[in-house]
Amino acid sequence: MKLKSLTCISALFLIISLPGIAQQKNKFTPQPGLLATIKKNFADADAQYKVLAKNLKPGEFPKAYHPETNKQENSNSGWWCSGFYPGTLLNIYEENHDKALLTEADIMLATLAKEQYNTHTHDLGFMMYCSFGNANKLNPSPEYKQILLNSAKSLSTRFNPKTGTIKSWDSKPSDFLVIIDNMMNLELLFWATKETGDSSFYKIAVTHANTTIKNHYRPDYSSYHVINYDAETGAVKEKKTAQGFANESAWARGQVWGLYGFTVMYRETKDKKYLDQANNIAKFVLNNPNLPADKIPYWDFNATNIPNALRDASAGAIMASALLELCRYTNKTDGLRYFNTAQSIIRTLSSPAYKAEPGTNGGFILQHSVGHFPAGTEIDVPLTYADYYFVEAMKRYQAFAVK
């Protein structure tokens, strides 16, 4: 299971490999200074991920780094974040052509491959599409496609027609828990329909998204984190926000998972209701009085200690990447706002306040993310998915410079 080395990346490859480029409605001009910063960021990221690789034992995937104890937290391939590390390696390799990163990615893909048959998680989109999906874009192969297809089949087993959703967390039999994060895993199902012509994957994704609009969203377009359904009747039993400040609060990363997910829904279906949903989520976030001027959100928009609440760099990175796609589909006024916001976020995350000096931070690129504040885990630390979406956002920004 090896990717072929790339000697160059053509403008055409950039255009077809980044979602939404071919459907561009609006045109925006990236700033030369920020493009130069991004080029340096990729060079630094290359060095950082070589440091990160040294901190892994065979079979391990990075989760986080704890600067106060100088200890790295790793996982096995079954953890929901396992696909981000190889995906980031591949995205940095695509930019820098450093074969050491490609070799490391190949090793991690081989370890991750068995998760294609994992039917106990909804996170196969994160795990397999962010890894093997990127690998297949760089070097399409029957092996990668089969792994992705098996992953989509495994994910589909968690769909319940009664609830109209894909089950997120396994728990007691009377509960059917669905989290907003699940919107990020639907892209794998759309890929499977396009690859095979089997519309069942597409139908599951659309049904899940429609149910999410109905039950996860409040009138102001903020989102709950968790909906608990009755698996027999499909009725909503509870609405909660497990990783946020309170059940009725707007957990920042949850809001941008939805923003990203409904942008993908519009790309894949061209159904305007998904574009409207994405725009409404974007406006909730961008018009929120508790969004800081530099656009890096507090970990929860309703945290009681704002402006002293912790920021979440991962939420900022996800938001930037989502907005750099959404800006291509919406009207010119909103599009410009989205583009400029993403530009601001990338600039802020590139500053010493968030971007680590090479050789520090355990090898992670970004500092200051928040995983699960109420549980007291991954508080103000580097996180693997913050790096992934920061790198993706930078790639998407660079694509605007392609003529």
pLDDT per residue as tens digits for the range 76-107: 999 999 999 999 999 999 999 999 999 999 99
For residue 175, how many C-alpha atoms fall within 13 Å in the half-sphere facing its CB? 13
Catalytic residue among 46, 181, 334, 387: 181
Predicted pLDDT at 2: 65
pLDDT-wise least confident of 15-24, 68-77, 311-320, 371-380: 15-24
- Rounded distance between C-alpha atoms, residue 133 and residue 145, angstroms: 8
Is the pLDDT score of 17 beyond 50? Answer: no
Is the pLDDT score of 226 beyond 50? Answer: yes
Interval 273-284 mean pLDDT: 98
Of the candidates 326, 302, 340, 296, which has an alpha carbon nearest to the alpha carbon of residue 314? Answer: 296
Is the pLDDT score of 220 beyond 90? Answer: yes
Contact (Cβ atoms closer than 8 angstroms) between residue 110 and residue 122 = no
- Rounded distance between C-alpha atoms, residue 243 and residue 403, angstroms: 42
- Report residue 181 as tokens: 């994060």
- Report residue 208 as tokens: 């899940």
Question: Based on C-alpha coordinates, what's the Rg of the chain?
Answer: 20
CA separation, residue 41 to residues 47, 354, 387 (Å):
10, 12, 11
Interval 109-135 mean pLDDT: 98
Predicted pLDDT at 403: 61
Contact (Cβ atoms closer than 8 angstroms) between residue 110 and residue 59 = no
Is the pLDDT score of 19 beyond 90? Answer: no
Tell me the pTM: 0.94
Express as a percent the part of the chain with pLDDT over 90.
92
Indicate the domain borders of the chain: 23-54+255-403, 74-157, 159-240
* 3.30.1360.170, 3.40.50.720, 1.50.10.10, 3.40.50.300: CATH of 23-54+255-403: 1.50.10.10
Predicted pLDDT at 23: 54
Q: Phi-psi category of 380—alpha, beta or left, where left has phi over 0 and alpha has psi -120 to 50?
A: left
Contact (Cβ atoms closer than 8 angstroms) between residue 373 and residue 300 = yes
Is the pLDDT score of 331 beyond 60? Answer: yes
Q: Active-site residue 123, yes or no?
A: yes
Catalytic residue among 46, 98, 123, 334: 123
- Report residue 282 as tokens: 């974007």
pLDDT-wise least confident of 69-73, 107-111, 178-182, 257-261: 69-73
Q: Dmax over Cα atoms in the chain, in whole Å? A: 56
Q: Active-site residue 380, yes or no?
A: no
- Rounded distance between C-alpha atoms, residue 98 and residue 80, angstroms: 27
The dihedral through the CA atoms of 134, 258, 189, 174 has a sign that is: positive
Question: What is the average pLDDT value for the chain, to the nearest integer?
Answer: 94
Q: Give the number of other CB atoms < 10 A from CB of residue 249.
A: 18
Is the pLDDT score of 272 beyond 50? Answer: yes
pLDDT-derived band at 174 (thresholds 50, 70, 90) equals confident
